[in-house]
Amino acid sequence: MLYGDRPHTLPLQEDSDMTSGSFVPLAGSERSAISGVQDLGPVNEQERIEVTVVLRRQTELPDELVLSPEVISRGELGDTYGAEPSDIERARETLSGFGLAVTPVEDGSRRLKVAGPLSALSQAFGVNLRRARSAFPGGGEVEHRYREGALQVPAALDGIVVAVLGLDNRPQVRAHFRAAADAAAQTTSYTPVQVAQAYQFPAGTDGTGSTIAILEFGGGFSTTDLQTYFSGLGLAVPSVTAASVDNASNAPGSDPTGADGEVLLDIEVAGATAPGAKQVVYFAPNTDQGFIDAISDAAHASPTPTVISISWGGPEETWSTQSRTAMDQALSDAAALGITVTVAAGDNGSSDGEKDGKNHCDYPASSPYALGCGGTRLEASTSTGAISSETVWNDGSGGGATGGGISTLYPVPSWQASAGVPAASASTGGRGVPDVAGNADPQTGYQVQVDGKQAVYGGTSAVAPLWAGLIARLSQSTGKTFGLIQTLLYPGVTAGQAAAGFNDITSGSNGAYSAGPGWDPCTGLGSPSGTDLLNRLKG
């Protein structure tokens, strides 16, 4: 961490504004220092911002609702498992006392929007905010607000507040897509339609009746690109609607890291594999607040989406505990509402791009409430779809490799207990990532249209919308939604044995882990054999 040219620690919060006993630490709110951060001085205390305060559930959401096929309505979720009205009123009264404007969003998602000058917010939550500059995930640098250590909350809200998000707005996640090194020299690439053919997506289905929600944290899309792309495939342009979260918007060409490529890869893969499904693309700031607000907005939308696709993430240890708690609760809400959440497992192998020599899983793919999606190298006939070879995606340190491994933070879920997940390196860990896989190697990548140009992209970013398209088609055929679909995919799975409905990937590695028969920490249960998977789900 740098302050000018010398190591430093940002100034600690003084206690002059707080009397003893009137504030309590907010559990799990601790923020660690960022390596290489530059301190830029104090924030403008008069700057007005809006933060998200997540409140506790009035009743804990039972495992039966998350793990079973039973689905509840948004109204039922809010009435029984949302925020207690008295908690909302207490939070409003307490925080209003600091001169803050408090607006409830929705009881079901348990979020309050709290706005005011930084001086009042700093006093209400016992925090010393600084301006800082740090590396942006994926390249470049960014200026942002910054804090270290824990937050405080007024004692009247002790136990009521789960998380306070948005004070520190450091970038939280990176996009998991990769462009082919030289598209002109590409020898093997596919349209998403050809990949779906190779994976035998169920005939006679196109996702009609489903809504696919897609989360994005930068970039945008143009209707011209979509019209050009889908007409080239001989398909009608699917219904694609942009939704704003926390004042972010569909802004193609605005992100120097090339996030347009992520946005269009997601829309085009989902749209080509499930052209009958409607898409809603949620654009949010690249912060923990933006991420949690995006998934909450998507999960509680009307109509309820069949699936949410997420192609962004970061090492699970880089998230604060309060952020992961709020995220996991939002993902649990989605499961109870019948929504499946597909998440890219990362493009930097078993290290997830960290330089400490250890293995790391990407989050939220490592959440037990998300379907983690790993990557393969697929070689198949572009005419018949026959697969000639499929191995773990690993192009070396410069070309990327599928993420995957064993979580250090989440224990083995009950539905994964018999799959043969290796022992965790930490007593708190054990959840195996990914759950499923699909074509991700840029050298056998997807033909896309980005910012007026044809290109070939890969990365596990492509696998999340690929599986989202498949789930929309499976839902159309069965007339059901699947929620936490792992509870349907893992039963009967045993260590070292191929799972029904999957192409078992047994060759290759992602660094520390190697593929083998059955579930493995590179490709999970394998890539989909869609028709077989449909028959299994019907059975």
Q: For the segment 136-179, what is each residue's pLDDT rounded down to a tens digit?
A: 887 788 999 999 999 999 999 999 999 999 999 999 999 999 99
461 is catalytic: yes
pLDDT at res. 138: 75
pLDDT at res. 14: 39
Q: Kindly report the pTM of this predicted structure.
A: 0.95
- Using DSSP's 3-state secondary structure scheme, residue 278 falls into strand
Q: Encoding tokens for residue 404? A: 């995957």
pLDDT at res. 183: 52
Give 414's contacts (C-beta < 8 A, 6+ positions apart).
67
pLDDT at res. 65: 94
pLDDT at res. 256: 67
Among the listed residues 210, 309, 407, 461, the single catalytic one is 461
* Four-residue CA torsion sign, 95, 99, 105, 109: negative
Q: For the segment 226-238, what is each residue's pLDDT rounded down to a tens digit?
A: 999 999 999 999 9
262 is catalytic: yes
Among the listed residues 255, 262, 333, 347, the single catalytic one is 262
CA distance 127 to 375: 41
Q: For the segment 387-419, what is each residue's pLDDT rounded down to a tens digit?
A: 999 999 999 878 999 999 999 999 999 999 999
Give 383's contacts (C-beta < 8 A, 6+ positions apart).
none
Give, in order, the Cα–Cα distances in Å from 531 to each of 251, 283, 309, 310, 471: 38, 33, 21, 24, 12
Q: Encoding tokens for residue 406? A: 């064993």
Strands (E) located in 381-523? 387-392, 405-406, 432-433, 436-439, 446-450, 453-458, 502-503
pLDDT at res. 186: 56
What are the residue ranges in the chain where pLDDT is below 70? 1-21, 182-187, 256
Sketch out the chain's domains with CATH numbers. Answer: 23-165 (no CATH), 174-538 (3.40.50.200)
pLDDT at res. 182: 66
pLDDT at res. 6: 27
Among the listed residues 39, 206, 255, 266, the single catalytic one is 266
